A and B are shown apart, each in its own frame.
Chain A
Amino acid sequence: MDIQSIRQDFPILKQQVNGHNLVYLDNSATSQKPVSVIQTMVNYYETYNSNVHRGVHTLGTIATDRYEEAREKIRRFINASSEKEIIYTTGTTQSLNLIAYGYGLARLSEGDEIVITPMEHHANLIPWQQVAKKTGAVLRYFPMEADGTLDLAKVRKTITNQTKIVSVTEVSNVLGTVNPVKEIAKIAHEHGAIMVVDGAQSTPHMTVDVQDLDADFFAFSGHKMLGPTGIGILYGKQEFLEAMEPVETGGEMIDEVGFQSATWAELPWKLEAGTPHIAGAIGLGAAIDYLQSIGMDAIQHYEEQITAKAYDMLSEIEGVTLYGPSERSGLISFNIEGVHPHDVSTALDSEGIAVRAGHHCAQPLMSCLKCESTVRASFYFYNSEDEIEALAKGIKETKEFFGHVV
């Protein structure tokens, strides 16, 4: 992979921040956008901005075609069997809420179990807490090993015949752990439970095949994979989406409306009430084109390389604790002894290095790690080896700075 030529496609990377070249290492929060995505969206607004599935005029037809073409690109990208299974949402959070409220709420009752992991993002945790409270279902957790991985033997013991829903993140946004969701899905199905996968941190970085995983639902966001914010996907097997009652109702999702009642449109539109984020959907289609022009396997391979380099460099720095397993997706959470993550983040920012500091929307996990927050550096395929070195240097200097001022 020619990183220098790839970086030319991302205008934002060419700037200086606080007098230094920008080193953007907050990709798990949101990725940067290539020119092709930005231009695709500008082109929509400049040349064929219209609502979809409504007017019969020319621009409306072009907009509808592009919007539905993007859906087809997304279907192929995750290997869903039909475009009926691809629901546009605002992002992973909305997708997971739709599953919890549109599927879980009507099917759970007292004593049923929902099982998740301690490493879930709040988006795959709070909806289940809420649904459990409303239905009397019990929210349980798979035990997590000290290195932040799951042990399949323990997973097997945790799932019971009372388990109705298993929901697991494919990649932890804090630890980088890659969870064996395919194997977990198999165990869940043996017990008659459905399998929900939070793909927010996996879809941008690796090949996703929802049929191979045998996931019943799969959720991800556009903005973490070069697309715009405000667009995401809910994938569901057709039979489950058919069985879902729409959580939101209104325009575009209807078949026929009378004074007292209404019937729903077919999938996928049944679950897409109101005017959607048209530019966002088309932009996400362009993001997928870009990712595929490089290749997901090449992206994954390159990220493994720079992540291993970062892991080695950071683990050599005395007083730096790394969290999570050594085999991981492209992010590293760490702490510098005696320096709070926010202070680390401010120091690195003054060198142009953007990282995230905080609890990463995973407060229960933080209590497992016995810390209140961490610094997280998260990579994407446009990050160079030089940037990994800049991070390691920045961490050493931060340690030195706070060592001196005490």
Chain B
Amino acid sequence: MLFNNLDQLYRSVIMDHYKKPRNKGELEGNHCVTVNMNNPSCGDKIQVSLEIEDNKVVNVKYLGSGCAISQSSASMMTEAIKGLEIDKIHQLTFDFSEMVQGREHNDDLDLGDAEALHGVSQYPARIKCATLAWKAVEKALREADKEKSRQ
């Protein structure tokens, strides 16, 4: 077996999300907000669309290009947050960020497949790849909040 430790990072569930992305696309409509985020140091790009109703993210889609870590993380993120209340999503994004940085995190929260990205903590240069989509969600929620206060 080549690259003994490498399969701890590139687990098969991660490569599966990379090759067969879930919830890829864009959402348009009254209750939708779309944001873009780049990782300027490496050129990864993510667009996240959220559809929010009654304080809940009822639908989520993403578009993007980049490495296996950033794109699989986006795909996993969409599955993890769909249908959740906004407060819960904030907890998850915080929890995910703590996990990939190798810090103690709340095991009670369900990150779904995204749990597989915990190996990223061993690769400090790749943490930004993993967190990009989750930061985009936070940005989208801030945008939605601003939008709401304008109305």
A342 contacts B67, C-beta separation under 8 Å: yes
Known: A401-B2, A401-B6. A342 touches B12 (CB 8 A): no
Q: Does B69 contact A (CB under 8 A)?
A: yes
Instruction: Give A368 Cβ to nearest chain B Cβ, in Å.
Output: 15
Distance between Cα atoms of A258 and B86 in the complex (Å): 63
Residue of A351, A358, A363, A406 touching B3 (CB-CB under 8 A): A351
Q: Does A129 contact B (CB under 8 A)?
A: no
B65 contacts A372, C-beta separation under 8 Å: yes
A363 contacts B43, C-beta separation under 8 Å: yes
Residues in B neighbouring A406, C-beta threshold 8 A:
15, 19
Known: A358-B43, A373-B43. A350 touches B6 (CB 8 A): yes
Q: Does A243 contact B (CB under 8 A)?
A: no
Q: Does B10 contact A (CB under 8 A)?
A: yes
Q: Does B27 contact A (CB under 8 A)?
A: no
Query: Which residues of chain A in 347-364 are interfacial with respect to chain B, using CB atoms and an 8 Å cutoff?
Result: 347, 350-351, 357-359, 363
Contact-residue bracket for chain B: 20 to 34
Distance between Cα atoms of A363 and B44 in the complex (Å): 12
Residue of A358, A401, A405 touching B42 (CB-CB under 8 A): A358
B9 contacts A346, C-beta separation under 8 Å: yes
B69 contacts A342, C-beta separation under 8 Å: yes
B126 contacts A397, C-beta separation under 8 Å: no
Main secondary structure of the interface of A (DSSP, over half): helix
Distance between Cα atoms of A347 and B126 in the complex (Å): 12
Query: Which residues of chain B in 110-141 are interfacial with respect to chain A, using CB atoms and an 8 Å cutoff?
Result: 123, 125-126, 129
Q: List 25 A-B contacts (CB under 8 A).
A: A339-B68, A340-B68, A342-B44, A343-B10, A343-B67, A343-B69, A346-B125, A346-B126, A350-B3, A350-B5, A350-B6, A358-B42, A358-B43, A359-B42, A363-B43, A366-B43, A373-B43, A397-B2, A401-B2, A401-B10, A402-B15, A402-B68, A405-B10, A405-B12, A406-B15
| Given A343-B67, A363-B43, A402-B10, 17 new contacts (CB under 8 A) | A340-B67, A340-B68, A342-B69, A342-B126, A343-B10, A343-B69, A346-B125, A347-B6, A350-B5, A358-B42, A359-B42, A372-B45, A373-B42, A398-B3, A401-B10, A405-B15, A406-B19
